[in-house]
Amino acid sequence: LSRLLGKNVLITGASSGIGEACAYQFAAAGANVILTARRKDKLAEVQQKIHSTWPSVQVHTASLDVQSSQAVDQAISNIPETLSSIDILVNNAGLAVGVDHVSDVPDSVIDAMIDTNVKGLLYVTRAVVRGMKARGSGHVIMMGSIAGMAGYQGGSVYCATKSAVHAISEALRAETIGVPIRVTDIRPGMVETEFSVVRFGGDRDRAGEVYRGIEPMTAGDVAESVVFAASRHPRCVVADVVLLASGQASATLAHRR
């Protein structure tokens, strides 16, 4: 963990769930954090918590919707100079919307997931990797999913986006082999965050059903793997991590008590 001391870490989707947990765990390891998401008020709460717990850690927050390539470029170029050399990028912003079958899925739902999980991730990666290439080092950590390993009913678009995240990780790793830039794809299964509440349009009862009779992972469990990958010796790449809740064997096979 001492390898993270003073590193600059950019986290997208840091206003809740896994991104927020990553912010705390990187701060606890002495890394400076650049926190982005659309909800400025939630980012301010995370910043405040970090300031009061780890006062020596530098925190910069920026309201950012990753769906806009212009906004992404602007947010990256507005990072204060002391933090602008990004050592680690955690590409975490993402969402699932609904469980529509292919025959019924509306344009807006297709666009929301592809524009955020795929295009947004590419915009942020492009902007940050340019600097990493120029400096000759860096680590890009993607928040993939086991949903990218097999399609399930009602998951066509979401699963496609996470499959794309895996493909982008492999391509980026191949492209940056000589820099060297490290690339990690973290592929969690069931994690209880705001994910299912967002997926079901704010319906907390329906979201709760997803985790009924099973103990899901926490955001902190996933953040531990992110921090583990980020803190290996530079000669070592944690390329792929598949994390499942212990009562789950795949995205569709779970043991419910």
- Binding segment for ligand 8X3 among 18-26, 37-45, 145-153, 163-171 (CB under 6 A)? 145-153
Q: Select 29 or 113, whichever has its Cβ closest to ligand 8X3.
A: 113
- Distance between CA atoms of residues 196 and 194, nearest Å: 6
Work out whether 204 is an interface residue with ligand NDP (CB under 6 A).
Answer: no
Work out whether 225 is an interface residue with ligand 8X3 (CB under 6 A).
Answer: no
- Give min distance, CB of 134 to ligand NDP, in A: 25
Q: Where are the alpha helices (DSSP H) in 87-242?
A: 107-113, 121-135, 156-175, 195-199, 204-210, 219-230
> Has 158 been annotated as catalytic?
yes
Which 8-state DSSP code applies to residue 214? Answer: S
Query: Assign residue 202 a region: left if phi > 0, alpha if psi is -120 to 50, beta otherwise?
Result: left
Quick check: 181 and 206 in contact, CB under 8 A?
Answer: no
Considering CB distances under 5 to 8 angstroms, the limit depending on partner class, which of ligand NDP, ligand 8X3, none binds residue 64? ligand NDP
- Binding segment for ligand 8X3 among 29-37, 47-55, 142-150, 170-178 (CB under 6 A)? 142-150
177 Cβ neighbours under 8 A, 6+ residues apart:
none
> Has 162 been annotated as catalytic?
yes
Sheet holding 32-37, edge to edge: 59-63, 32-37, 8-12, 88-91, 138-143, 181-188, 240-243
- The helix-helix angle for 121-135 and 156-175 (nearest 10°) equals 10
Work out whether 251 is an interface residue with ligand 8X3 (CB under 6 A).
Answer: yes
Residue selected from 4, 23, 33, 94 as contacting ligand NDP according to rule CB under 6 A: 94
Q: Which 173-192 residues touch ligand NDP, going by CB under 6 A?
A: 188, 190-191
Which 8-state DSSP code applies to residue 145? Answer: -
Site residues for ligand NDP per CB under 6 A: 12-19, 37-39, 42, 64-67, 92-95, 116, 120, 143, 145, 188, 190-191, 193-195, 198, 219
Q: Any idea which residues carry the catalytic annotation?
A: 158, 162
Site residues for ligand 8X3 per CB under 6 A: 145-147, 155, 189, 251
